[in-house]
Amino acid sequence: MNIMWIAIGAAAAIGLTALATAWAQSRIGAAGAAVLAEKPELAGTVIILVAIPETMVILGFIVALSLILRIGGG
Amino acid sequence: MSRVRIIGPKDRVDAALRAVQDLGQLQLAELPDRAGVGPARLGPARERRRRQLTRLLEDVRDALHSLSVAPQRVAPATIATPDFARWARLARRTRREARTLLDRQTALRDERALIARYREFLLAVLPAIRKVDGSKRLTSHAVVVPASARGAVDGLASALRAELGAEFTMSAHPLPGGDVAILLILPSEFSNRLDARLAEARVPEVPLPDAYRSLPLAEAVPQMLARLLAIPAEVEECERNLAALGKARGGEMRKAQAAVEDWLAAASARERTAETGHAFTIEGWLPARSVGPLEQRVREAAGATVIIETIAREDWGAEDAPVVLSNPRLFRPFEKLIALLPLPHYGTIDPTPFVAVFFPLMFGMMLGDVGYGIVLAALALIVRARAKPGSLARTGAEIAGPCAAFTIVFGVLYGEFFGDIARRTLGVRPLLLDREQAVFATLAAAVGLGVVHVVLGLVLGAVTAGRKDPKRALGRGMSAVMVLLIVAALLAAFKVLPARLFTPAVILLLVTFPVLVFAEGVLGMIELMTTLGNVLSYARVMAIGTASVILAVVANKMVGAVGSTAVGLLFALLFHLVNFAIGVFGPAIQALRLHYVEFFGKFYSPGGRPYEPFGHGTALAVPLTQEKPA
C-alpha cells in the first residue's frame, strides 16, 4: 500500500481524535473549574468528567500505531 | 458502627454530655420522634450567653483573620478557666485595632498606586509647571482623560487654541492603562472658565488625589513625588504593627476561639438531646469498639443512674448510619483518593484496599523505568521526612512510595533505566517485554490488566448487590462470566489459546446470554457492551507507557544530536525532567480515572454520611460569615 496513505491515515487517526478530545475537554474543563470554585468537594466527579473524552485520543493513538506498525511494516 | 441510647435523670444531662464530648466518639443522631419526648431547650440565660459568645467568636475570627494569625488548634482542656468577659473586650479591641491598621495600609497602597500612575507625567511636566509658576499672567492645569474620551482631546485643543491663540499650550502624556494626562497652560483669567470648556468638549476628568486637588500644581507635584518615596516606610510600619499585635494577642485569641467554639458546640449538642419532664435521652453512632469506653466515661461522670443501651441492628437503617473508612496503616493514605468521591454507603464495600494495590500497579506499569522510579522514591522520602503527619504532602509522599516501588519493578521487567541508557551502555535486556518494540504485546498486557480489574469490579458488584438484590447480583456475576468467555473466545480465535476452546466458549456465551437478560433486562446487554468498552479503555496504560519510553529515548538521543556533548547533555537532562514530570502526572491521573470510571462503576455505591463525632474542636457551632480584609 502506498506509504503516503498509511501516514495520512495514521495522522488522521491521532490528529482528529486529539482535536475531538481537546474540544470536549476544553468545554468540560471550563465548566469543571466553575464547579470547583463553588463546590471543591466535587473534585473527584470533575476529574472523571474531564478524563472521559481522553479515551478517544488513546484509541486514536492505538489505531495510528497499528496502521504504522502492522500495515506499514515498521 | 453501633447505635446507642443514653437515658438518665434530667439533672445529669450536662455531666453526661460533657463525658460524651470528652470521649469525642459519638456522632449525635437526629432527635427520636416519640410521644411525650421533646427537644431540649437551652433556657433564657444560656440563649443570651450563646448570642454573646457568637458575637465574641465573630470578633475573634475577624481579628485572627485580619492579623493573618496561622490557624492552630488549642486543646480546650489546656484552658483552665474560660474568661469570656475579658476575651470579649480583648477581641473587640484587637479587631478594631487590626482593622484600623489594615485600612491605613490599604489607603497608603492606594495612594502609592495613584501617584505612581501619574509619576512619569509629573516628572515630565514639572519643569514647565515651575516655569509657569514664575509668571503672573499664565497658569497651569493638569487633567487626566480616560481612555474612552481620548478622541475628544484634539477637539478641545483646537477650540482652546482658536480662542486663546499663542498663549495656550497643551502637552499630552499617555498613562499606563490607556488614560491620557494633559497639561494645559493658559492665561490666568481664563482659569475659572476651564471646567465649563471641558464639559462643553465632553472631556470627562479623572480627579487627582484628594489631598493635592486644592493645591497649585507647582506645590502639588513636588509634594506628590516626595510622598511616593515616603509611603513604603509607612506601609512597612503598619505591617510591623500588625505583626506585633498578632504576636502579642494571637495566642490569647486562639485560646478564646477554642473555648468559645467548645461552649457553642456543647450548646448545640444540648439542643439535640430529647427530654421528658424528668429524664433525658441522647442517641448517636459510634464505632462498636468505643461503646465500652463510652459507658465507663458516662457512668463515671453522671453516675450509675444513667443507662447506656445499644440499639439492635434491626431497629436502624443503613442509610442513617455514618461511614468511617478504617484500613490498615499501609492502605490508609489511599483513603484520600476515595475521599475525592462521595463516601460509600454504609454496609457496602470500602474500595481502599483494592485501590492501594491496583493504583501503584497501574502507575508502575505506565511509568516503568528504574531511573524514574529511583528519583520518585527519593522525592517521596524527602517529602515524607519534611511534611507534618496527616498533611496532604505527607499523604502524597506515602502514595508515591508504593508507586515508585512498582515503577522500579516494572522498569526491571521492561529493562528501562532513563529510557534505553542501560540497554545501550550495559547491554541490559528486558526480562518481560521491550515496550519500544513490542507494542502489541504491551497492548495485550494492558487490556489483560483491564479484564482482571473490570471482572474484579463486577464480582465486587455481585457481592454488594447479593446482600439486598439477588437478581442484580446474578446479573453482575453473569456479566463477569460473559466478559471472561468473550476474552477466551477471542484468544482462541487468534490461536493464543487452543483453537478447540473457541466453540465451547461461544456455546457458553449463548447459554449465559438469556440469564443476563433475565437478571438485568435489555439494559444488561447494553451494560455488557459498556463493560467491554471499559476493558478496552485500559489500552491507555500501554499508550501512556509507550509515549513515556519514546520521550525518554528521544531525550537520550539528544546527547549525540547536538554538536557539543555538554549542550546535548543539558538538553537531555531538561527533556528527562519534563518527561519525568509528565510521567508522574499522566499515569496518576489515568490510573485514578481507570479506578473511578471503569472499576468503581461496577460496584461503588456513593451516598454515605460522613462520621462527625461530637467532641472538643468539632464544628457543631454555627459557622460565621468571614469577611475578608480589604
Give the minimum alpha-carbon distance from B543 to chain A in angstroms, rounded to a whole number: 6
Nearest to A62 among B341, B543, B589 (CB): B543
Please compute the mean of the pLDDT values over residues A29-42 and round it to a whole number.
90
B597 → closest Cβ in A43, A52, A62: A52
pLDDT at B190: 76
Q: What is the rounded distance in angstroms from the CA atom of residue B439 to the CA atom of residue B443? A: 6
Q: Do A51 and B590 touch (CB under 8 A)?
A: yes
Question: Which distant-in-sequence residues (6+ apart) come within 8 Å of A32 by Cβ?
Answer: A46, A49, A50
- Strands of the sheet with B169-174, listed across from one edge: B138-145, B180-187, B169-174
Q: Are B226 and B29 in contact (CB under 8 A)?
A: no
Q: Between residues B346 and A29, which one has the greater pLDDT?
A: A29
Q: State the pLDDT at residue B410.
A: 95
Contact between B519 and B474 under an 8 Å Cβ cutoff? The reply is yes
A72 — pLDDT class (breaks 50, 70, 90): low
Mutate to test the interface with A, among B340, B343, B359 (most CBs of A within 10 A): B340
- Which candidate from B340, B443, B590 shows the least CB-CB separation from A44? B340
Q: Of B543, B592, B596, which has the smallest distance from its Cβ to A58's Cβ?
A: B543
Contact A55 B540 (CB under 8 A): yes
Whether B290 and chain A come into contact, CB under 8 Å, resolves to no
Separation CA B205–CA B186 (nearest Å): 18
Contacts of B596 in chain A (CB under 8 A): 44, 47-48, 51
Q: Do B596 and A47 touch (CB under 8 A)?
A: yes
Residue B196 has pLDDT above 90, yes or no: no
Read off the amino acid at residue B62. D
Q: Within B387-521, where are the H helices?
A: 392-414, 421-426, 439-466, 470-493, 502-520
The domain containing residue A12 runs over which residues?
3-71
Give residue A1's pLDDT: 61
pLDDT of residue B150: 73
The C-alpha atoms of residue B236 and residue B183 are separated, in whole angstroms, by 34
User: What does the pLDDT read at residue B406?
Assistant: 96
Tell me whether B597 touches chain A (CB under 8 Å): yes
Q: Which residue is closest to A62 within chain B, CA to CA?
A: B543
Res B219 pLDDT > 50: yes
Q: For position A12, which CATH number holds?
A: 1.20.20.10
Q: What confidence category does residue B99 fall into, taking pLDDT thresholds of 50, 70 and 90?
A: very high
Length of chain A as a residue count: 74
Task: Inform me whether the pLDDT recorded for B459 exceeds 90.
Answer: yes
Cβ-nearest to A51 among B536, B547, B593: B593
Q: Which of B46-55, B106-115, B205-214, B385-394 has the lowest mean pLDDT?
A: B205-214
Q: How many Å lie between the alpha carbon of B483 and the closest alpha carbon of chain A?
A: 20
Q: Which three three-digit cell numbers place residue B329?
A: 496503616
Q: Which residues in chain B are closer than 8 Å to A58, comparing Cβ atoms?
A: 537, 539-540, 543
> According to the model, what pLDDT value does residue B236 have?
92
Residue B366's pLDDT band (cuts 50, 70, 90): very high
A-contacting residues in B 554-593 (Cβ below 8 Å): 589-590, 592-593
- Assess B548–A contact: CB distance below 8 Å, yes or no: no
Convert the pLDDT of each residue in B404-437 to its tens digit: 999 999 999 999 999 888 888 888 888 888 888 8
Return the top range by mean pLDDT from B129-138, B168-177, B549-558: B549-558
**Most confident region among B198-202, B220-224, B314-318, B481-485 by mean pLDDT:** B481-485
**Helices assigned H by DSSP within B272-312:** 291-302
Which range (B32-36, B245-249, B349-353, B393-397) has the least confidence?
B32-36
Question: Is a pLDDT exceeding 70 seen at residue A73?
Answer: no
- How close A70 comes to chain B (CA, Å)? 10
Q: Residue A62: which of B340, B539, B597 has the nearest Cβ? A: B539
User: Would you call A20 an interface residue with chain B, using a CB distance cutoff of 8 Å?
Assistant: no
pLDDT at B626: 37
**Interchain pair A62, B542: CB under 8 A:** yes
Give the span between the Cα atoms of B418 and B602, in whole angstroms.
Answer: 37
What distance in Å separates the CA atoms of residue B106 and residue B598, rounded to the nearest whole number? 52
Whether B165 shows a pLDDT value over 80: the answer reads: no
Mean pLDDT computed over A53-72: 82
pLDDT over threshold 70, residue B199: yes
pLDDT of residue B304: 85
| pLDDT at B629 > cutoff 60 | no
Instruction: Say yes or no to pLDDT of B81 above 70.
Output: no
Average pLDDT, chain B: 84
DSSP code at position B37: -
B619 vs B33, more confident: B33
Residues in chain B within 8 Å Cβ distance of A62: 443, 539, 542-543
Distance from CA of B596 to the nearest CA of A (A): 7
Instruction: Dump pLDDT digits (tens) for B220-243.
Output: 778 888 888 889 999 999 999 999
Q: Which three cell numbers stand for residue B296?
A: 465507663
Kindly report, as residue ranges, where domains of CATH 3.30.70.2750 are found in chain B.
Answer: 112-232
Q: What is the CATH number of domain B112-232?
A: 3.30.70.2750
Whole-number Å distance between alpha carbons of A36 and A30: 10
What pLDDT band is residue B389 in, cutting at 50, 70 and 90?
confident
Q: Which of B116-120, B356-360, B390-394, B574-578 has the highest mean pLDDT?
A: B356-360
CA-nearest residue to A68 within chain B is B439
**pLDDT at residue B513 above 50?**
yes
The verdict on a CB contact (< 8 Å) between A58 and B546 is: no
Whether residue B622 has pLDDT greater than 50:
no
Q: Using CA atoms, how far apart are residues B352 and B331, in angstroms rounded to an integer?
A: 7
3-state DSSP: chain A helix, strand, coil percent, rounded to 5?
A: 90, 0, 10
Which pLDDT value is given to residue B223?
A: 83
Q: Given a cut of 50, is residue B627 above it in pLDDT?
A: no
**Chain B residues with CB inside 8 Å of A59's CB?**
536, 539
Name the residue in chain B with its Cα closest to that of A41.
B340
Residues of chain B above pLDDT 90, percent: 24
Q: Say how far residue B344 (Cα) sits from the centre of its chain.
A: 20
- For residue B593, the distance in angstroms to the closest alpha carbon of chain A comes to 6
The answer to whether B515 faces chain A, any CB pair under 8 Å, is no
Q: Which residues of B touch A51 (CB under 8 A)?
A: 589-590, 592-593, 596-597
CA-nearest residue of chain A to B541?
A58
Q: What are residue A61's phi and psi, to 5 degrees?
A: -60, -45
Spatial CA neighbour of B1 closest among B273, B394, B263, B313:
B313
What would the grid cell of residue B466 be?
447479593
- Asked if the C-beta of A26 comes within 8 angstroms of chain B's C-beta atoms, the answer is no
**B440 in A contact zone (CB under 8 Å):** yes
Closest residue in chain B to residue A51, using alpha carbons only: B593
User: In chain B, what percentage of residues exceed pLDDT 70?
Assistant: 93
At residue B80 the predicted structure's pLDDT band, cuts being 50, 70 and 90, is low
Residue B206's pLDDT band (boundaries 50, 70, 90)?
low
- Report the number of distinct structural domains present in chain A: 1
> Closest Cα of chain A to B95: distance in Å?
29
**For B289-314, what is the mean pLDDT?**
87
pLDDT for B258 beyond 60: yes
**Do the bridges between strand B307-311 and strand B38-39 make them parallel or antiparallel, or are there none, so unpaired?**
unpaired
Per DSSP (E only), the strands in B241-379 are 274-275, 279-286, 307-311, 322-323
pLDDT of residue B71: 67
**Nearest CB to B592: which of A45, A47, A59?**
A47
Mean pLDDT, residues B588-609: 89
Q: Which residues of chain B neighbour A72 with C-beta distances below 8 Å?
A: none
Classify strands B279-286 and B274-275 as parallel, antiparallel or unpaired.
antiparallel
Nearest-by-Cβ selection for A61 from B543, B589, B590: B543
Q: Does A59 touch chain B (CB under 8 A)?
A: yes
* Cα gap B380→B375, rounded to integer Å: 9
DSSP string, B174-203: E-TTS-EEEEEEEEGGGGGGHHHHHHHTT-
- B307 three-state secondary structure: strand
* pLDDT tens-digit map of B439-450: 888 989 999 999
Q: Residues B35-62: what's their mean pLDDT? A: 83
| Cα angle for residues B526, B531, B534 (degrees, 5° grid) | 130
pLDDT of residue B628: 38
